[in-house]
Every structure is written in structure tokens, then in C-alpha cells.
Amino acid sequence: MNIIMLGLPGAGKGTQAKLIAQIKSIPHVSTGDLFRAAYQEQNEMGILAKRYMDKGELVPDEVTIGIALERLSRPDCQDGFVLDGFPRNLSQADALSNAGKKIDHVIYIHADETLLVERLTGRRVCSGCGGPYHILYHPPKENGRCDACGQPLIQRDDDKEETVVERLKVNKELTDQLAAYYRQRGALRIIDGSQDIDRVSAEIVELLK
């Protein structure tokens, strides 16, 4: 089963994609994770991708398409995958289709933009082990410190308010276009992303039966 997670930043695509990957025993392919891994390796593509991400801008299509299709060509994706963060626009959707990747479901997690700003700007990660936190929804026991290793929590550059607002603005028009694209192909499924995580998960699991 080939699945695309669609929605604005903060809608919960990553969380739900990981759940689907576990249930269906297929890879969770996140372009954001791929870009960050490439940056940590200090290769040219990763450095270029981070430069755009830090400004809240989209990574150029040629970089995004190349890294995504390379990942989907690996053996573990032959029996299915969950795409998280790709495609982001119609050109990328066409590239995916032209690569012969038939999409069974496009799950669009829709949520109000005010709620998304709250979710994104409240995110923190551990500077040591990378553990995720949120100042409202999942705060640490000790303010500003990781529960697991005690290292300081940090706010990623792409979660700062000015960057978040720009990310949402850039993504909204493109997401609407993708929703229309996949609706025409009969693959679009809409889920209310303002619900709690467990409820969203339950609706997606029911949809994929």
C-alpha cells in the first residue's frame, strides 16, 4: 500500500505516518528527516536544503525529487511506503507519478492555522538525545531540561514564530493544489486534525481497513 500524508506543517503528518508505517509494516519516508540527515553528514545537498528550511522556504524541486525518488527506489519500499513531506507541489506529484509510483491513499489531515502556529512554536527537542517535547502538550518534568538525559531543550530554527508563519503561508496554496490534484484522482481522504492524536489515529486506521 502506497500512502501520502498531506497537510500543513504541524497538522500531525509525521506522528500519524509513523503509526501507519508500524501497522502496515512499510517504511516511513520523511523528506525532512532525509534533509536533516544529509546536513549532519555535511554533504552539499544537505547544506543547501537546510539553508532553505531555516528561512521557512521550500527546498528546490530538483533536490527534493532526487532525494525522495532515490529513497523510494530502495528494496524496502517495493511493497509499500508512507510519504511524509513529499510531494509538496504539483511538479513533485507529477514526478512521483512519472516514476511509476501508484498512490492508493492520500490522507489529508486538515487543521486551523491558529492551532498549527501554537503547535509548531511550542515544540522543543533535546540538544543531547534529540527527544521531542512541547511546552503545552508534552512539557519536561524540569523546565528546559530533557527527562531522559538532562541536557537543555532547544527550539529548532524552523519552529520559531516568524519562520512558522512563513512556512504556513508558503505551504497553504501548494497543499490546496495537491488536495485538488488527488481529489480528481479519487485518492484523497480528509481527516479532522484538530482532534486529539488518538482520535485522528483511530479514524485513519479505520479508513485503511
Please state the rounded mean pLDDT for residues 98-115.
Answer: 94
Q: Determine, yes or no, domain membership for 87.
A: yes
Does the structure show a pLDDT above 90 at 67? no
Q: List strands edge to edge, sheet with 153-154.
A: 132-134, 123-126, 153-154
- pLDDT value of residue 167: 85
Name the residue with higher pLDDT: 49 or 61.
Answer: 61
- pLDDT value of residue 175: 94
- Does the predicted TM-score (pTM) go above 0.85? no
Q: Determine, yes or no, domain membership for 126.
A: no
- Mean pLDDT for all residues in the chain: 91
- pLDDT value of residue 50: 82
Q: Determine, yes or no, domain membership for 100.
A: yes
Q: Determine, yes or no, domain membership for 153.
A: no
Q: Determine, yes or no, domain membership for 203.
A: yes
Cell of 76: 524496502
Sorted by sequence, the CB contacts under 8 Å of residue 135 that are 6+ apart come out as: 122, 124
Residue 42 structural domain: 2-111+162-207
Q: Determine, yes or no, domain membership for 147.
A: no
**Domain CATH number, residue 96:** 3.40.50.300
- pLDDT value of residue 186: 94
Domain count, the chain: 1
Q: Determine, yes or no, domain membership for 117.
A: no
**With bands split at pLDDT 50, 70 and 90, how would you rate the model's confidence at 149?**
very high
pLDDT tens for residues 33-59? 888 877 887 877 778 888 887 877 778
**With bands split at pLDDT 50, 70 and 90, how would you rate the model's confidence at 31?**
confident
Does the structure show a pLDDT above 80 at 10? yes
- Which sequence positions are flagged as catalytic? 13, 88, 123, 156, 167
pLDDT tens for residues 121-135? 999 999 999 999 999
Cell of 46: 544537505
- pLDDT value of residue 77: 94
